């Protein structure tokens, strides 16, 4: 499904008013739907760096960017300089909120964020912000007094067992009432917390933010989940408030929810109510990412089933990736993949009809021996986001709006063609070998030059043929 903002009137709104949204059934797949957008995850880039690179991001064909968390966060003295260092900081410090105010010493000030947003508007780039209302920082003594006061005091901040860590992630009571990774679990059903958080969200929207990625979303309960009655909770209604279905203490989402791009980090596992979450937002296709990486490791598209999305929600509402900041940093699950392998996966994923793909910007000068490269928070990532193959498939995706897919995989699994109607095709060589491509297509007969390398492919009687270099991709359009 193509999601285009129609916000001419909204941009002129000075004050936010309550509104009622309609909610599509995100479980029912429309086989004719096509997604055209792409997200660049400007991971750990600061606001000035993002602004300076906005034109290049737009030229690369990305339609959205996702920032790291912009909220006040854990900021140890002398820290928040390095991506990963025992003394000089860690990337996950900004995943430890201390207040719902704008600005921190990793990304920059509120004023610098506004400059970045103005630049994004100039280049027609939608800005998504990573938000994490589920928890605070580890050290609850560092949470701001203003934050505690806003929610009714420290005793009102957390769930009854919020300071206990989760032992069983498949137990929905633990999953939604206790701390993920040991981070204290916030009582997101507290109306005072909801009001304070929504004021933060609305301020971001007024500044120009047009979407959100909800960190640890599956750890915030839906209506079918257990209720923390000991904390005075009567209803798991955080998502109703966050998505504009209801207001809280006179505060509501300030623009129609359908004008925002919102997805939640709902990592797939047992007992996760994906259907209920689908009623509120798009979800991460975490299992599909794992399967795609397996194919990349094996350099073979038949090693696994790449056509199944492995999710109960409709694929047009999934956010997809080859890798995320978590798969790269936490257990380095994807960090060993070469840049060429990541590109191969990205072109395959982005050429497809559905999902909204997210490209993770790896650190500058990172290698397979040194994952964090220059190891500087705030700095731009490496050059891969504007590699010619990445750029070509980003624009291909937009041009193929309305064209449904037909994926053809060679018998030996080395080569793939993602056909889009009779308008174009992406050819991907997963292997380390030069391969001769011979795959079915709906392209009309004729000779075609790919958009990146100028290599010629021939279509004769519904058969696409040509040669493909190792771990290289080609974009063909008519």
Catalytic hit among 37, 189, 215, 450: 215
Q: Cα–Cα distance between 325 and 328 in angstroms, integer? A: 5
The answer to whether 319 and 283 have CB atoms below 8 angstroms apart is: yes
Q: Order across the sheet with 435-440: list the strands.
A: 435-440, 463-468, 456-460, 446-449
For the chain, helix, strand, coil in percent to 5 are: 30, 20, 50
Catalytic residue among 189, 265, 384, 389: 265
Name the strand (E) or helix (H) holding 429.
strand 424-429
Rounded-to-integer distance, Cα 242 and Cα 279, Å: 13
Euclidean distance between CA atoms 235 and 426, whole angstroms: 48
The answer to whether the beta carbons of residues 355 and 314 sit under 8 Å apart is no
User: What are the residues facing 321 on neighbouring strands?
Assistant: 358
Per the document, the length of the chain is: 478
- DSSP code at position 184: P
Please state the φ and ψ torsions of residue 284, each to the nearest 5 degrees.
-75, 135
Active site residue 265: yes
362-396 burial string, b = 16+ CB within 10 Å, else e?
Answer: bbeebeeeebbbebbbbbbbbebbbbebbbbbbbb
Q: How far apart are CA 215 and CA 114, in angstroms?
A: 23
3-state DSSP call for residue 196?
helix
Active site residue 275: no
Contact assessment for residue 339 and residue 359, using Cβ atoms and an 8 Å cutoff? no
- Angstrom CA distances, 131 to 246, 294, 420, stand at 20, 29, 35
> Which residues are part of the catalytic machinery?
215, 265
């Amino acid at each position: 499904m193509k999601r285009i903002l129609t916000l001419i009137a909204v941009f002129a709104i000075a004050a936010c008013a309550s509104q009622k949204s309609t909610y599509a059934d995100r479980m029912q797949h429309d086989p004719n739907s096509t997604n055209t957008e792409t997200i660049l995850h400007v991971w750990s880039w600061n606001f000035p760096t993002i602004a300076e690179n906005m034109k290049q991001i737009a030229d690369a064909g990305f339609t959205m960017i996702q920032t790291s968390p912009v909220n006040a966060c854990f900021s140890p003295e002398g820290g928040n300089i390095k991506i990963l260092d025992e003394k000089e900081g860690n990337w996950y410090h900004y995943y430890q909120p201390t207040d719902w105010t704008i600005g921190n010493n990793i990304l920059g000030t509120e004023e610098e964020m506004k400059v970045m947003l103005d630049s994004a508007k100039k280049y027609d780039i939608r800005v998504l912000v990573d938000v994490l209302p589920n928890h605070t920082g580890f050290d609850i003594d560092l949470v701001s007094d203003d934050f505690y006061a806003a929610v009714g005091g420290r005793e009102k901040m957390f769930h009854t067992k919020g300071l206990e860590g989760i032992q069983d992630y498949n137990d929905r009571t633990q999953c939604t009432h206790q701390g993920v990774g040991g981070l204290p679990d916030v009582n997101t059903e507290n109306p005072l917390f909801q009001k304070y958080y929504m004021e933060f969200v609305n301020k971001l929207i007024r500044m120009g933010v047009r979407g959100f990625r909800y960190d640890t979303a599956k750890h915030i309960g839906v209506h079918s989940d257990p209720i923390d009655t000991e904390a005075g909770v009567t209803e798991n209604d955080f998502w109703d408030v966050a998505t504009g279905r209801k207001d809280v203490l006179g505060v509501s989402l300030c623009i129609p929810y359908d004008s925002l791009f919102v997805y939640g980090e709902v990592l797939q596992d047992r007992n996760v109510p994906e259907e209920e979450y689908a009623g509120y937002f798009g979800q991460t296709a975490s299992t599909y990412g794992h399967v795609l990486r397996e194919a990349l490791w094996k350099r073979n598209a038949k090693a696994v089933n790449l056509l199944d999305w492995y999710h109960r929600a409709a694929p047009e509402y999934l956010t997809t990736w080859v890798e995320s900041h978590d798969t790269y940093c936490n257990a380095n699950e994807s960090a060993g993949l070469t840049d060429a392998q990541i590109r191969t996966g990205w072109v395959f994923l982005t050429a497809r009809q559905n999902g909204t793909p997210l490209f993770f910007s790896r650190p500058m000068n990172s290698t397979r021996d040194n994952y964090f490269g220059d190891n500087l928070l705030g700095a731009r990532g490496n050059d891969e986001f504007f590699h010619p193959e990445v750029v070509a498939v980003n624009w291909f995706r937009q041009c193929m709006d309305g064209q449904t897919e037909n994926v053809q995989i060679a018998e030996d699994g080395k080569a793939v063609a993602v056909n889009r109607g009779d308008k174009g095709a992406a050819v991907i060589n997963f292997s380390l070998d030069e391969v001769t491509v011979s795959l079915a297509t709906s392209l009309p007969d004729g000779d075609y030059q790919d958009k990146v390398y100028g290599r010629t492919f021939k279509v004769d009687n519904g058969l696409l043929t040509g040669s493909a270099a190792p771990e290289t991709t080609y974009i063909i359009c008519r």
